[in-house]
Amino acid sequence: MNKEEYIAYLKGRKSSHKVNYHLECLKEIRKIQQEGRKPSLLLHACCGVCACWPLEFLHDHFDITVYFNNSNIWPAEEHDKRLSELQRYIHEKFGDDIPVIVTPYDNVSYTQKLEPMKDDPEGWQRCFFCYEERMNEAFAYADSHGFDYFTTVMTFSRQKDSQKINGIGIALETKYEHTKYLRSDFKKGGGQTRSAELVDEYCIYRQDYCGCVYSYMDRHSEQG
Ligand code: SF4
């Protein structure tokens, strides 16, 4: 890891020159409303906590399909638990209105890709790779299946750099012919507060680490 580059990145993150992607999202929704459309949206989701508010927020405006491709999550039991909690929430709140696509779980191959960056601090290059890997896979699915929009719930997390995630989404959009990237910052606009209410109301499981084995070890060595 290049320490100077990392410090420069952290300083840049604090700068005030940030795009308000929540406002950009609202602008796009307003445009869709004026056109009288309800477009299709493929929503990458990683867990119930991050997805509960984006699903409520987007549900009236988009015809949503959830895409769960999260081979980063270790171990398999944790992957399955986050998935089943997400499915339970969706079923209890929206009935059968929102399909969930689940891709095959392959944490061994995924961890091999992360391994060269295993010593990176959370929120740095390993994570940038991890965001892009899953977003690109989901975006490719969205485009090849004719979805109008793609986005990810990951901008909800305070631990993740939403400027970076949106930058990845905007760059990926140029690769794909049909599907547009929906900019977002789900933690804004009351998202954090409403999410906490939904987590309580639906008793959604709240994990204490991001997902990969390295984030698990970091968190649990901090606690130990
Ligand atoms: S900490 Fe989270 S985002 Fe970063 S590499 Fe691990 S699973 Fe991916």
**Which tens digits make up the pLDDT trace of 105-133?**
999 999 999 999 999 999 999 999 999 99
- pLDDT value of position 1: 66
d(CA 16, CA 40): 34
73 occurs within a structural domain:
yes
Does the residue 14 lie in any domain?
Answer: no
> Of all helices (H) and strands (E), which one includes residue 71?
none
Give me the chain's average pLDDT, please. Answer: 95
| Angle (CA) 188 189 191, round 5° | 65
Task: Supply the pLDDT for residue 223.
Answer: 60
Partnered with residue 68 across adjacent β-strands are 102
Q: Which CATH number does the domain housing residue 97 bear?
A: 3.40.50.620
The answer to whether 54 and 188 have CB atoms below 8 angstroms apart is no
CB 166 within 8 A of CB 184: yes
Reported pTM: 0.96
Question: Could you give the CA distance from residue 111 to residue 74 in angstroms, rounded to a whole number?
Answer: 9
Q: Is pLDDT of 222 > 90?
A: no
**In testing the pocket of ligand 1, which one of 115, 135, 215 has its CB within 8 Å of the most ligand atoms?**
215
Q: Is 58 part of a structural domain of the chain?
A: yes
Q: Which residue has the tokens 């606690």?
A: 223
- What is the rounded CA–CA span in Å between residue 72 and residue 133? 10
Q: What is the pLDDT of residue 217?
A: 96
Give per-residue pLDDT as tens, 52-80: 999 999 999 999 999 999 999 999 999 99
Q: Are 72 and 130 in contact (CB under 8 A)?
A: yes
* Residue 193 alpha carbon to ligand 1 centre in Å: 24
211 within 8 A of 75, measured Cβ to Cβ = no
What percentage of residues in the chain have a pLDDT greater than 70? 98
Query: Per the domain annotation, does 92 fall within a domain?
Result: yes
Q: Tell me if 41 is assigned to some domain.
A: yes
Q: What is the total count of domains within the chain?
A: 1
Give the number of other CB atoms < 10 A from CB of residue 107.
20
- Full domain range(s) for residue 31: 20-223
CA distance 81 to 64: 22
Cα–Cα distance between 30 and 67 in angstroms, integer? 25
Residue 2 in domain: no
Radius of gyration for the alpha carbons in the chain, expressed in angstroms and rounded: 17
Residue 43 pLDDT > 70: yes
pLDDT given at position 14 = 76
Please report the atom of ligand 1 found closest to the CA of residue 211: 7
Q: Is residue 148 part of a domain?
A: yes
Decide whether any atom of ligand 1 lies within 6 Å of the 151 Cβ. Answer: no
Ligand 1 centroid vs 97 CA: distance in angstroms?
30
In a domain, 185, yes or no: yes
